[in-house]
Amino acid sequence: AQSVTQLDSQVPVFEEAPVELRCNYSSSVSVYLFWYVQYPNQGLQLLLKYLSGSTLVKGINGFEAEFNKSQTSFHLRKPSVHISDTAEYFCAVSEGSGNTGKLIFGQGTTLQVKP
């Protein structure tokens, strides 16, 4: 069965510092990988996705992630964070090998950006 592990439940960081949110997955089949962001009192919105092709994926708001098949990781990075990046971030993997829309989510990482 597929699973997703987000290694940090909370990541505090100062404004303008770089940040990395870690995500590891397990799967015996090819996967699609996603990062979603949830701002306070809002639903989730897509940050970026890996479907195929280049392993470095760029998303919205200056975020990027790198798919590493050998390490089964999909870590999210941003070189300089803003206060407005404070939110909860979810890594997700598509279930099975098909285009089903059924996602398995990690536990979430709360990014706390301090002034």
Partner 1 sequence: DADVTQTPRNRITKTGKRIMLECSQTKGHDRMYWYRQDPGLGLRLIYYSFDVKDINKGEISDGYSVSRQAQAKFSLSLESAIPNQTALYFCATSDPSAVSGANVLTFGAGSRLTVL
Q: Which positions touch partner 1 (CB under 8 A)? A: 4, 6, 9, 32, 34, 36, 41-46, 49, 51, 90, 94, 99-103, 105-108
Report the nearest approach of partner 1 to the CB of residue 50 (Å).
10
User: Tokens 């407005």, residue?
Assistant: 84
Q: Which is nearer to partner 1, 29 or 51 (CB)?
A: 51
Shortest approach of partner 1 to residue 24 CB, angstroms? 14
Nearer to partner 1, 33 or 81 (CB): 33
Of residues 30 and 80, the one with the C-beta less far from partner 1: 30
In the chain, what is the greatest distance between 2 CA atoms, to the nearest angstrom? 43
Q: CA dist 20 to 2, 80, 88, Å?
A: 23, 10, 13
Q: Are 7 and 56 in contact (CB under 8 A)?
A: no
Nearest approach, Cβ of residue 68 and partner 1 (Å): 20
- Residue pair 109/6 in contact by the 8 Å Cβ criterion: yes
Q: Which residue has the tokens 């987000």?
A: 6
Cβ-based nearer residue to partner 1, 55 or 97: 97
- Tally of CB atoms within 10 A around 70: 5
